[in-house]
Structure 1
């Protein structure tokens, strides 16, 4: 494979892996409209195309808190068993249509209990929907493996409960844990007991850090809480001056700690200024284990194909760069080593060779 520029049609055919993608941020607009009608929830518009545009425009505020506020309408239609089953199944099918061969989907079960479901029932229902989607994708000849990350909301008080569910369902499709929500003012160390539980039970976890808050957030996530990956982490660049890495940046690079980078989302929340100048490129060139992700496909109006295409067109990425971040993601996926290696050697590398 040569280090050459490639177009969107080729990119669409490439096998992809995504580690940072929120279930409640990736619904189909038409599904939101239909489910909202069924549950009596009022939307900004009932036209699917207009709703997609509303999400994208509302999220382009440059502020993480306002970005998160757009989830009101997706969460409103994910409070019933039927809503969860449908959105989970469609999530998998949409990944498969985008060429994704491995994905990790994250959500906070506590946010889906307003309709009377317990957190345990939410987890079991989502797993059922994901399994149905994977079966349909495989039958269609586009198999995709999807693992689940359960999230605790860092500004609320049910993080420990979510961590306990991650332990309980780790042999039933849940592959790891995360904390999400407003980062600034809610440090990860506030939930140290949950992370200590996960470490004792050998459940891997990532932590949203270095997006709305800087180096102290990343330091706490890694050195106090023990995260194996960092969600976003764009502000690790604050520990790099003229190409010289500080102690924390060196730790991240040298220990091969994956950074789950989400370029379009970072532009929307103000964590980055442009695709061309997004830190993912500089960090890639410095040898960090960067991965490429969508974060919220509806809210950010994006797909893995789009994220890759933007970096090719605006940041000069090559096919080799795209292959590197895909392999990086699989190396850091929260599934067993032999399964990661098989995806790399039997799916991704041959898929790149065939597409190029």
Structure 2
């Protein structure tokens, strides 16, 4: 017995984060600074503490659409190269302080061109910030460039991902409201990425059901699913000792398609009723390729360590469970096999072994 992991101990664990939005993780103090510098006067308050509270309360509505509205303020102050570099640098610093050793952070370049920046300038500024933050704080950060599913620029963004894939862009994503905007609207971009041997994930199965997941996998060829919570709709007898998987759920599990789950965010947007009732408990028990993520650290008021701590409290998870989630994430990352293996065997497993050993010593 090693005891139940505490939040303090979890912060020391080497963690991996695959689903985190750059414009969803700003420090409130930074938002205030950038708004002042840019002459942006749309903030609900300029007090950092009150601003943090406003973001979490506005996001906790049970509606994905309402949740997404909060981004007008973070995106609004991220319209210069200096601002983008600062936000990326601070993101790397904050994640490293939380014990994250590898992260994939996503953002939509098309949202940061209002003052005249080109898509390339946006990407280069973010890459510079992450490179500097990574060097200073000892974290590896890969970026995902995201296309907005309600717009028509996905091919441009896909080409951007390929153009910068040797400079730190590790993949592509589409995001935004799912209902009415199926991933198949961007099929040409996904076919291009496949021809270019590029990696991509798709937001699917969060606010819309199984058809979104099916299209993302079978039509578009997604490597991973952003959220994928609604895959449980294809599982019956969920409360029994032997749940029954439908064809799609079985396919997702058999093919080891990673699910980028974000428990706190999913509760906020109404994709799950509570952490204790989140499908992650069932999916972990059924050995789906589940990963744990933050989605938007500012809006959800959560760090990756806190996400893990919530799961420990809800499901009684121990160190072996947390290591399982972490290794799942590292296996599913969009960097090379050798790099993933080095982090798993050289950082993650030794780090968790030390924590488990320390816990044993504490109890004896």
How big is the shift at 1:314? 2.0
Could you say which residue in structure 1 is the equivalent of 2:352? Answer: 352
Could you say which residue in structure 2 is the equivalent of 1:196? Answer: 191
How big is the shift at 1:352? 0.6
Could you say which residue in structure 1 is the equivalent of 2:4? Answer: 5
Could you say which residue in structure 1 is the equivalent of 2:234? Answer: 239
Could you say which residue in structure 2 is the equivalent of 1:91? Answer: 91
Could you say which residue in structure 1 is the equivalent of 2:132? Answer: 132
Alignment of 1:122 with 2:122, yes or no, is: yes
Could you say which residue in structure 1 is the equivalent of 2:173? Answer: 178
Distance 1:39 1:170 in 2: 30
How big is the shift at 1:9? 1.1
Could you say which residue in structure 1 is the equivalent of 2:141? Answer: 146
How big is the shift at 1:315? 2.2
Could you say which residue in structure 1 is the equivalent of 2:50? Answer: 50
Alignment of 1:229 with 2:224, yes or no, is: yes
Distance 1:34 1:326 in 2: 35
Could you say which residue in structure 1 is the equivalent of 2:39? Answer: 40
Contact 1:18 1:329 (C-alpha < 8 Å) held by counterparts? yes
Alignment of 1:1-356 (within 5 A): 2=1, 4-42=3-41, 43-137=43-137, 143-242=138-237, 243-356=243-356
Contact 1:3 1:320 (C-alpha < 8 Å) held by counterparts? no
Distance 1:173 1:102 in 2: 13
How big is the shift at 1:267? 0.5
Could you say which residue in structure 2 is the equivalent of 1:140? Answer: none
CA deviations over 1:309-350 (Å, ceiling 9, x no partner):
111112222111111000000000000011001100000000
Contact 1:259 1:290 (C-alpha < 8 Å) held by counterparts? yes
SS in 2 for 1:35: helix
| Mean CA deviation greater in 286-295 or 312-321 | 312-321
Distance 1:4 1:253 in 2: 30
Q: 1:211 to 1:3 in 2, by over 3 A?
A: farther
How big is the shift at 1:353? 1.2
Distance 1:313 1:78 in 2: 36
Q: What's the RMSD between the two structures over aligned residues?
A: 0.8
CA deviations over 1:99-148 (Å, ceiling 9, x no partner):
000000000000000011001110011101110101111xxxxx211101
How big is the shift at 1:4? 4.0
Contact 1:275 1:315 (C-alpha < 8 Å) held by counterparts? no
Distance 2:298 2:268 in 1: 13
CA deviations over 1:3-31 (Å, ceiling 9, x no partner):
64111111111110000000000001100
Q: 1:41 to 1:201 in 2, by over 3 A?
A: same
Distance 2:205 2:314 in 1: 23
Structure 2: gaps (5+ residues): 238-242, 357-364
Distance 1:135 1:229 in 2: 28
Residues matched between the structures, number: 350
SS in 1 for 2:144: strand
> Which TM-score applies when normalising by structure 1?
0.97
Distance 2:115 2:350 in 1: 45
